[in-house]
Structure 1
Amino acid sequence: MMDSVIMWSWIFMSIFIGAMLVFGYLGMKKTHTSDDFATARSSYGPVTIALVISAGIASGSTFMGMPGLSYALGAPSLWYPLLYPVATVFGMLFFAKAIKEYGDKLGTRTIPEFIGNRYNSNILRLVLAVISILLIFYVISQLVAAATMFQIMMGLDYGVGIIITIVVIGIYVFLGGSHSDIMTDAVQGALMVLIALTVVVCFALGVGVEGGFGELIDRITERRPEGHFGQLFIPGDETYGSIWLVLLLLIAHLPFAVQPHLGNKFMAVRSNKDLKKLLMFTTIFATILPLMGLGGMLAIGVLDPSTDIRADAVIPTLFTEIFPPFLAAFLAVAVLSAVMSTSDGLVVSLTQILANDIFRLSIVPRTKMSEEKAEKYELAISRYSTFLFLMLAGIVAWNPPEFLSIFMWIGIGGIVSATAGPLVVGSLWKRANRTSAITSLAAGTIAYWFIYLPFGLDVSNPFAAAGMGVIISMAVMVIMTLVTSKPGDNNLVQFEDAQ
C-alpha cells in the first residue's frame, strides 16, 4: 500500500507544485513596483483575503503540530486549537481598520513602518524591524513540517524535502511577491478548509475504528488515561497544567494577527467597506481549520499503541492508515499547502525588513539616489533576499525540533510581546504617544525574554511567557500614556492628517 501512496503523492505533488509556479508567473505579471511586491495593495476581495489570512494563521503547526500535541498529550491540548482562533480574530477587531485606512493613506508597506508612522518614530520602526527577524523561527517550523511530509508520503530523504520546499517557495515568491503569495494562499486555504472538514467527519464517525465513535472514545480513555475527554488539564504540564496557563495562551494570541506576514494582508483588500466581510469570513475559516487537532485524537484510537512515530508526523501516518492510497496522497498534498501558505507570507515579510524598513526608509533618505534607481534596487533586494532567508531557515531546520507548535512560538512570543502595547492600545487610544510606545515595547520585550530564557525565570512554555509579556506590554502602555499625556490629547492628529 505504501508504494501506491508514494506513487499518488508524486502525481498530486507534481500537479500542486506546477500550479504554484503558474501562480508565481501570474503574480509576476501583476508585480511592477516594490509596493506591488510588498503589499499587493487594494487588489483582492474579502473572501480571498480571508482565506489567505486564515491559512497564514493556521500554518503547518495547525495541520501537523496541533494533531501531534493532541496525539501525545490527549484532550487537554485541544485548548490550543479551541482558543487561538477566537483570540486572534478578536484581536483583529482592534487594529484591522487602522492598518488598512492609514496604510492606504500613507502608503505604508509593513507593520514596523505602520507603527513608526503612528508614533512618528524611526527608532520604533527600526527596533520592530529587527524584532521581526524572529519570524525566522516560524519559517524554520514550516520547513520542518514540509520536509516531514515529503519524507513520509513520498519516500524522500528529510534533507531533500527541505531543499525542494526552499526551491519551490523561493521561485514563486521571487517572481510575484505578495501577489503570488495571495493567489497561492487562497487556493491553499480552500484545500485546508476541505481537509479540516474531512478530519472532523472522520473523527465523528470513528473512521478506522471498529465500533465507530463510541469505541474510539473508549480507546482514547484506555490509551491516554491522563488525557481523555474527561480531563480539562494535565497536572504539572507547562502549557496545559491549569486554567491560568490556558488563559495566558488565550492572551498571547490577542495580538497574533499583528505579525508582519498577517498584518500586511489587510492592505491587500480592495476597500475599507470590505473589512466587515473580511472579518466575518476569516472568523468562519479560522474556526474550521484548527479542528485538525481532532485528527490527533482519532490517531490515538486508530494507530497501534506500539507505533513509533514522531508526534508531528501523526497526520500523514493516520492518512495512510485509514484512506485508500490516492485519497491519502491528495490529503497529504493539502497538508503541505498549509505549510507553504504560511511560509511564503513569512518570507515576503522578512524580505521587506531589508528592502523597505532598512533600505527604502533608512538608507535611501541619506543618499542622493534617484527615485527610479532606489525603486529598482528595492525590488531587487526584495526578490533576492527571498533565497537568503529560506536558506538560513533551512540550515536550522536540518535538525528538527520535537514539537513544531511550541518551537515556532519562540519567535512569535517575542513579536507579540513587543507589539501588543504600541499596536493594540495605540490603535484604540488616540492619547497614546511615542514615549509610552517605546517604553511599552521595551517592557514587553524584556519581560518575555526574562521570563522565557534560562537566565531569567526559565519558563519553558513560550505561550505563558508571551501571555505575560503581552499583559506587561499593554499595562505599561496604559500607565505611561496616563503619566506622559493629558486628558483630551490626540497624538493621532499628525498621523491622520498625513497625505
Structure 2
Amino acid sequence: MENAIVTYSWILMSIFLLGMIIFGYIGMRKTKSSDDFATARSSYGPMTVALVIAAGISSGSTFMGMPGLAYNLGTPSLWYPLLYPIATVFGMLFVAKAIKRYGDEFGTRTIPEFLGDRFNSEFLRIVLTIISILLIFYVVSQFVAAATMFQTMMGVKYEVGLFITGIVLAIYVFMGGSHSDIMTDAVQGFLMVITAIVVLVCFLFSVGVDGNFGDMIQIIKERNPTGAFDQLFIPGDKTYGAFWLVALLFVAHLPFSVLPHLGNKFMAVRSNKEMKKLIMFCTIFATILPLMALGGMLGIAVIDPGANITPDQIIPVLFSEIFPPFVAAFFAVAVLSAVMSTSDGLIVSLTQLLANDLYRKTIVPRINISKEKAERNELLISRYSTFIVIIAGIMFAWSPPKFLSVFMWIGIGGIVSATAGPLIVGGLWKRATKKGAIFSLLAGTLTYWFVYLPFGLNFTNPFGAAGLGVLVGMLTMFVYTKLATPVVSEEKDERLTG
C-alpha cells in the first residue's frame, strides 16, 4: 500500500506541478508591465480573489501546522483555527476598500507604499519595507511544509523536497508574477476547500476509528487527557493557558489581512463595487479552511501513539491510514496546494520590497533615468529577485522548526505589531496624522520585540507578544491623534479612507 501511495503521489504531483507551470506561462502572457507583475490590477472577479486571499491566509500552517498542534496539544489548540478567520475578516472590513480605492486612483502597488502615501511619509514606507523582510520566516515555514509533504508522501529526502519546491515556484513566479500567483492560487484554494470539507466529514463520522463518534472522543481523552474535549485551556501554557492569552491571539490577527502578500490582492479585484462580495466570499472560505485542524484531533484516535512521526506530519500520515492510495495521494496534492498558494504570494511580495518600495519609490526619484528605462529595470528586479528569495528560503528551511504555526509567527508578529495602528486606526479615522502613525509603528514594533526576545520579557509566545504589540500600536495611534492637531485635509481624508 505504501508503494502504491508513493506511485500515485508522484503521478498526481507531477500533473499538479505541470499545471502550475502552465499557469505561469499564461500569467507571463498577461504581464506587460511592472504593475502587472506586482498587482494584476483590476483583472479578476471577487470569488476568484476571495479564494486566493483565503488560500493565502490558510497556508501550510493551517493545513499542516494547526493539525500538528491539535495532534500534540489537543482541544485547547483549536482556539487558533476557531478565532483567526473571524479576526482576519473583521480587520479586512476596516481597510480593504480604502486600499483598493487608493490603489486604483494613485497606482500604489504595496502595503508599505500605501502607508507611505497615506501619511505622506517616506520614513514610514522605508521602515515598513525593512520590517516586511520578516516575511522570510513565513516563506521558510511554507518551504518546510512542502518538503515535509514530499518526504512523507513521496519517499524523497527532506532536502530534495526543498529543491523541488523552490524550482517549481521559481519557474512560474518568475514568468507571471501576480497573474500567475492569482490563477494558481484560485485553483489551489478550490482544492483546499474540498479537502477541508472532507476532513470535517471524516472527523464527524470518525473515519478510521473502531467505533462511533463517542468512542473517538473517549479514545482522544485516554490518549491525551490534558487535550480532551472537556479541556478548554492548558494550565501553565503560554499560548493556550488562559482566556486572556487566547484573546491576544485574536487581537494579533486583526491586521493579518493586510500583510504585504495579502493586502496587495485587494488591488486585483475588478471594481471597488465588488468589495462587499469579496469580503462575503472571504468569510465563507476562510471559515471552512481551518476545519483542517480537526484532522489532528482525528489523528490522535487513529494513529498508534507509538508512531515515530513529528506533529506536522500528522495530516499526510492520517491520509495514508484512512484513505485508499489514490485518494490519499490526491489529498496530499491538495495539502501541497495550501503550501504553494501562500509561498508564491509571499515571494511576489518580497520581490516588490526590492523592486517597488526600494528601487521605484526610493532610488528612481534620486537619479537621472528615463521613465521607460526605470520601468524596464523594475520588471527585471521583480523577476530576478525571485531567485534571491527562494534561495534564502531554502537555506533557512534546511533545519526545520518543531512547530510551523509558531515559527512563522515570529516574523508575522513583528509586521502586524508595526502596521496595526497606522492601518486599522488610520484607515478608519480621518484625523489620523503622520506623527501618530510613526509613533504607533515604533511603539508596536518595540513592544513586540521587547516582550518576545530573550533580552526582554522572553514571553516565548509570538501570538501573545504580537497581540500586545497590536494593542499598544493601536492605543498609541488613538491617544496621539486625540491629543494632536489634525494635519490632513478633509478632501484627502475622504479619498484615502472612503
Change (3 A) 1:74 1:265: same
Residue 258 of structure 2 is matched in structure 1 by 258
- Mapped to 2, the partners of 1:25 and 1:154 lie a distance apart of 27
Residue 17 of structure 1 is matched in structure 2 by 17
- Mapped to 2, the partners of 1:414 and 1:37 lie a distance apart of 26
Deviation at residue 214 of structure 1 after TM alignment: 1.6
**Is 2:430–2:494's contact at 8 Å kept on the other side of the alignment?**
no
Residue 122 of structure 2 is matched in structure 1 by 122
State the SS of the aligned residue for 1:254.
Answer: coil
Change (3 A) 1:217 1:387: same
Alpha-carbon displacement from aligned partner over 1:163-210 (angstroms, at most 9, x marks no partner): 000000111000000000000000000000000000000000000011
Residue 485 of structure 2 is matched in structure 1 by 485
What amino acid does structure 2 have at the position aligned with 1:166?
A: G
Alpha-carbon displacement from aligned partner over 1:252-284 (angstroms, at most 9, x marks no partner): 000001100000000000001100000000000
- Mapped to 2, the partners of 1:174 and 1:484 lie a distance apart of 46
**Is 2:444–2:473's contact at 8 Å kept on the other side of the alignment?**
yes
Residue 4 of structure 2 is matched in structure 1 by 4
- Mapped to 2, the partners of 1:127 and 1:497 lie a distance apart of 24
- Mapped to 2, the partners of 1:282 and 1:406 lie a distance apart of 24
Change (3 A) 1:151 1:260: same
State the SS of the aligned residue for 2:249.
Answer: helix
What amino acid does structure 2 have at the position aligned with 1:154?
A: M
**Is 1:117–1:495's contact at 8 Å kept on the other side of the alignment?**
no
- Mapped to 2, the partners of 1:166 and 1:476 lie a distance apart of 41
- Mapped to 2, the partners of 1:307 and 1:165 lie a distance apart of 27
What amino acid does structure 2 have at the position aligned with 1:456?
A: G
- Mapped to 1, the partners of 2:361 and 2:96 lie a distance apart of 23
What amino acid does structure 2 have at the position aligned with 1:243?
A: F
**Is 1:196–1:292's contact at 8 Å kept on the other side of the alignment?**
yes
What amino acid does structure 1 have at the position aligned with 2:332?
A: A
Alignment of 1:100-115 (within 5 A): 100-115=100-115
- Mapped to 1, the partners of 2:328 and 2:460 lie a distance apart of 35
What amino acid does structure 2 have at the position aligned with 1:62?
A: T
**Is 1:188–1:338's contact at 8 Å kept on the other side of the alignment?**
yes
Gaps of 5+ in 2: none
Deviation at residue 493 of structure 1 after TM alignment: 3.5
**Is 2:102–2:495's contact at 8 Å kept on the other side of the alignment?**
no
What amino acid does structure 1 have at the position aligned with 2:335?
A: V
Residue 59 of structure 1 is matched in structure 2 by 59
- Mapped to 1, the partners of 2:272 and 2:97 lie a distance apart of 7
Alignment of 1:274-289 (within 5 A): 274-289=274-289
Q: Quick check: 1:191 aligned with 2:191?
A: yes
What amino acid does structure 1 have at the position aligned with 2:198?
A: T
- Mapped to 2, the partners of 1:213 and 1:497 lie a distance apart of 54
What amino acid does structure 2 have at the position aligned with 1:437?
A: A
- Normalized against structure 1, the TM-score is what? 0.98
**Is 1:433–1:491's contact at 8 Å kept on the other side of the alignment?**
no
What amino acid does structure 1 have at the position aligned with 2:164?
A: I
- Mapped to 1, the partners of 2:409 and 2:426 lie a distance apart of 24
Residue 457 of structure 1 is matched in structure 2 by 457
Q: Quick check: 1:76 aligned with 2:94?
A: no
Alpha-carbon displacement from aligned partner over 1:361-395 (angstroms, at most 9, x marks no partner): 11111111101100100000000000101110110
Residue 466 of structure 2 is matched in structure 1 by 466
Residue 96 of structure 2 is matched in structure 1 by 96
- Mapped to 1, the partners of 2:212 and 2:42 lie a distance apart of 48
State the SS of the aligned residue for 2:117.
Answer: helix
- Mapped to 1, the partners of 2:186 and 2:70 lie a distance apart of 27
**Is 1:5–1:320's contact at 8 Å kept on the other side of the alignment?**
yes
RMSD: 0.9
State the SS of the aligned residue for 1:226.
Answer: helix
Alpha-carbon displacement from aligned partner over 1:332-388 (angstroms, at most 9, x marks no partner): 000000000000000000000000000001111111110110010000000000010
What amino acid does structure 1 have at the position aligned with 2:119?
A: Y
- Mapped to 1, the partners of 2:78 and 2:263 lie a distance apart of 26
- Mapped to 1, the partners of 2:228 and 2:447 lie a distance apart of 35
What amino acid does structure 2 have at the position aligned with 1:165?
A: T
Alignment of 1:293-308 (within 5 A): 293-308=293-308
Alignment of 1:241-390 (within 5 A): 241-390=241-390
Number of aligned residues = 496
What amino acid does structure 2 have at the position aligned with 1:244?
A: W
Residue 404 of structure 2 is matched in structure 1 by 404
Q: Which runs of 4+ in 1 moved over 2 A?
A: 489-498
- Mapped to 1, the partners of 2:219 and 2:489 lie a distance apart of 59
What amino acid does structure 1 have at the position aligned with 2:380?
A: A
**Is 2:143–2:165's contact at 8 Å kept on the other side of the alignment?**
yes
State the SS of the aligned residue for 1:459.
Answer: coil
- Mapped to 1, the partners of 2:305 and 2:443 lie a distance apart of 46
**Is 1:21–1:171's contact at 8 Å kept on the other side of the alignment?**
yes
- Mapped to 2, the partners of 1:491 and 1:178 lie a distance apart of 34
Deviation at residue 308 of structure 1 after TM alignment: 1.4
What amino acid does structure 2 have at the position aligned with 1:7?
A: T
Residue 30 of structure 1 is matched in structure 2 by 30
- Mapped to 2, the partners of 1:257 and 1:279 lie a distance apart of 11
- Mapped to 2, the partners of 1:237 and 1:484 lie a distance apart of 41
- Mapped to 2, the partners of 1:305 and 1:13 lie a distance apart of 29
Residue 177 of structure 1 is matched in structure 2 by 177
Change (3 A) 1:87 1:61: same
What amino acid does structure 2 have at the position aligned with 1:380?
A: L
Q: Quick check: 1:152 aligned with 2:152?
A: yes
Task: Name whichever of 362-371 and 477-486 sits farther off.
Answer: 477-486
- Mapped to 1, the partners of 2:462 and 2:491 lie a distance apart of 37
- Mapped to 1, the partners of 2:489 and 2:92 lie a distance apart of 22
Alpha-carbon displacement from aligned partner over 1:74-123 (angstroms, at most 9, x marks no partner): 00100000000000000000000000001110100000000000000011
What amino acid does structure 1 have at the position aligned with 2:370?
A: S
**Is 1:112–1:128's contact at 8 Å kept on the other side of the alignment?**
yes
Residue 131 of structure 2 is matched in structure 1 by 131
- Normalized against structure 2, the TM-score is what? 0.99
